[in-house]
Amino acid sequence: MTELTRALLDAAAELVAERGSRGLRLAEVAARTGVSRQSVYNEFGNKERLLQAVALHKTAEFVDGVRQRLLGTPDPLEGLREGIRFAFDLAERDNLAKSVLNGANAEDMLPFLTTRGRPVLTLATSVFARHIRQHWGDLPDPRVHLIAETIVRVSLSHLLTPSSRRVEAVVHVTEALLAAGRDDRS
């Protein structure tokens, strides 16, 4: 990703957090980054594609942080716990995530996590699937995918409707699915 692309995405994310996607103007993105409006169009084509790119860019930030925690912890369940905790903590600090999740200004971005959330779901699921395959290699691929996707979906549910024990809830669901996967092979 070029520096220009990153700057445009960051500016667009800030503006969406402040005003929602309906209030986003490509001219304002250009002004915040010190480029022409045409440069924004050249980079993304239109507002919809810019919004999709923002959603994927922000998802990549979350996924990269989760991936680092999964790889940086020798115990696979502790890695899951740390990765999920990181995602929840980042969601509390990130202005766009807070705005999307609490419906303050970016409620119109919520479909990028829900009804039009396939790219986000696919990217996040692949990270957890890789971790599960690495540490529970005897599980069949359909089970790996089911567990990974469930981790992401339960995490999204807790992001949208927070609970006090959200990290542990996701880890317990994961442990149950892993145990069921082992029982299926018995």
54-82 pLDDT per residue, tens: 988 888 888 999 999 999 999 999 999 99
Q: Give the residue from 167, 175, 176, 181 showing the smallest Cα distance to 69.
A: 167
Query: What's the mean per-residue pLDDT of the chain?
Result: 88
pLDDT the model gives residue 105 = 66
pLDDT > 90: percent of the chain: 49
- Does the pLDDT of residue 30 top 60, yes or no? yes
- Does the pLDDT of residue 122 top 60, yes or no? yes
Q: Check if the beta carbon of residue 17 is closer than 8 Å to that of residue 95.
A: yes
Structure tokens at 63: 């996924």
What pTM was estimated for this model as a whole?
0.80
CB-based contacts of 92, cutoff 8 Å, min separation 6: 98
The b/e string for 108-138 (b: 16+ C-beta within 10 A; e otherwise) is bbbebbeeebeebbeebbbbbbebbeeeeee
Q: Give the residue from 80, 103, 67, 51 showing the smallest Cα distance to 155.
A: 80
131-185 pLDDT per residue, tens: 999 999 999 999 999 999 999 989 888 888 888 888 888 888 988 888 886 666 5
Q: Name all domains of the chain by residue range, CATH numbers in brackets.
A: 54-185 (1.10.357)
- Does the pLDDT of residue 85 top 60, yes or no? yes
Within 10 angstroms of residue 69's Cβ, the number of other Cβ atoms is 20
pLDDT > 70: percent of the chain: 89
Question: 3-state DSSP call for residue 136?
Answer: coil
